[in-house]
Amino acid sequence: MRENTFGFVGRDMAVDLGTANTLVYVRGRGIVLNEPSVVAININDNRPLAVGIEAKMMIGRTPSNIQAIRPLKDGVIADFEICEMMLRYFIRKVHSRRFAKPRMVICVPSGITGVEKRAVQEAAEYAGARKAYIIEEPMAAAIGAGLPINEPTGNMVVDIGGGTTEVAVISLGGIVVSQSIRVGGDELDEAIIEFAKREFSLALGDRTAEEIKIAIGSACQLEEEIGAEIRGRDLVTGLPKTVFASSKDIRRAIEAPVSLIVEAVKMTLDKTPPELSADLMTRGIYLTGGGALLHGLAQRLMNETGMPIVVATDPLNCVALGSGMCLEEFDLLRDVLSFSSSR
């Protein structure tokens, strides 16, 4: 194939279509766009009113005729039309039509079906891509974390996103064992909402719950336990109310989903061939995705697996950087891309 020999050119781009955030990497420039995967639509005529950061601001604050939608909730494409609309919007935002049609590498959650993958490729082509390639998320995450995926050695990556956690062991450019669970940052937020309701009769919005998680959420005991004021609406009186919660309370609140993530890692380790396990013992397990930033998660995984745990540099950017690296070094990495393009 001629294009393989010449590699990617010009304004080719890589898209990390995440359940929480979408990032776009442009060849030779790096990450140029990073916005929440949210679309606000007018439900009367289905017109999009805002996309990305602007739309996320509207979550929980919309009048009845506006709906803020996350098209990729739970690691699957919940609303394909909206997803396509969003993808097109982001691509157009960074792609100037003056340039030739770009080639595109798109990373999608591995839980989506073959039909959906194909549909994402078509959406990308419809949005102006000459050709779209799909890369599996753990592979992109591992490349972005700087792991030597092409070597005959075991590399383990745990990518904790908004809707999913993907665990994979990679060697010689291929995924040897993997597991994807539909538990990610969103489930931690939901657990905090449940907790506030149960303990304080307090209704919390999704965004508030996420803020609390980021501020004082943790996966194991902290050296110094902290606390925060939580604002919401009293379920009894209907009035605004502020309560105080400690990091210990929040840790207890999110324990169930956190332990599911830990279990997924242990289960994957259990299925890993012994030679590769030995490699992991020296190299360590790499954490990527926003969930890797949860306080104490690395420590917790270390306690429970006995393995060294490394939080990747820039965990939120790993997948986009890894997908981008496939553009920059196409010849080297083309085997990890899937060529089921429609053209």
Q: Considering the complex, state which of residue 52 and residue 289 has its C-beta at the smaller distance from ligand ADP.
A: 289
Q: Considering the complex, state which of residue 69 and residue 294 has its C-beta at the smaller distance from ligand ADP.
A: 294
Cα separations in angstroms, 269 against 20, 163, 249, 326: 27, 22, 30, 27
* Residue 185 contacts ligand ADP per CB under 6 A: yes
Task: Enter the DSSP assignment of 295.
Answer: B
Q: Give the orientation angle of helix 297-305 with respect to helix 247-271, to 10 degrees.
A: 40
Identify the residue whose tokens are 């996309």.
51
Residue 296 phi/psi, 5-degree rounding, is: 75, 0
Q: Considering the complex, state which of residue 208 and residue 323 has its C-beta at the smaller distance from Mg ion.
A: 323
Smallest distance from the beta carbon of 200 to Mg ion, in angstroms?
32
- Of 310, 1, 4, 279, nearest in space to 153 by CA: 279
Q: Considering the complex, state which of residue 232 and residue 315 has its C-beta at the smaller distance from Mg ion.
A: 315
Read off the tokens for 239.
């009035």
* 17: β partners: 22
Q: Considering the complex, state which of residue 142 and residue 276 has its C-beta at the smaller distance from ligand ADP.
A: 142
Smallest distance from the beta carbon of 21 to ligand ADP, in angstroms?
4
Residue 121 corresponds to which amino acid? Q
Among the residue ranges 5-13, 53-61, 81-89, 155-163, the one whose residues contact ligand ADP (CB under 6 A): 155-163
Among ligand ADP, Mg ion, none, partner that 20 touches (CB below 5 to 8 angstroms by kind): ligand ADP
* Residue 95 contacts ligand ADP per CB under 6 A: no
Measured from the Cβ of residue 258, the count of other Cβ atoms closer than 10 Å reads: 24
* Residue 294 contacts ligand ADP per CB under 6 A: yes
Q: Considering the complex, state which of residue 18 and residue 52 has its C-beta at the smaller distance from Mg ion.
A: 18
* Residue 138 contacts ligand ADP per CB under 6 A: no
Q: Which residues bind Mg ion (CB under 5 A)?
A: 18, 161, 319
> 31-62 b/e with 16+ CB inside 10 Å = b?
bebbbbbbbbbeeeeeeebbbbeebbebbeeb
Binding mask 206-235 for ligand ADP (x = CB under 6 A): ----x--xx--x------------------
3-class DSSP state for residue 254? helix
Q: Which spans of this chain sit near ligand ADP (rule: CB under 6 A)?
A: 18-21, 161-163, 184-186, 210, 213-214, 217, 289-291, 293-294, 316
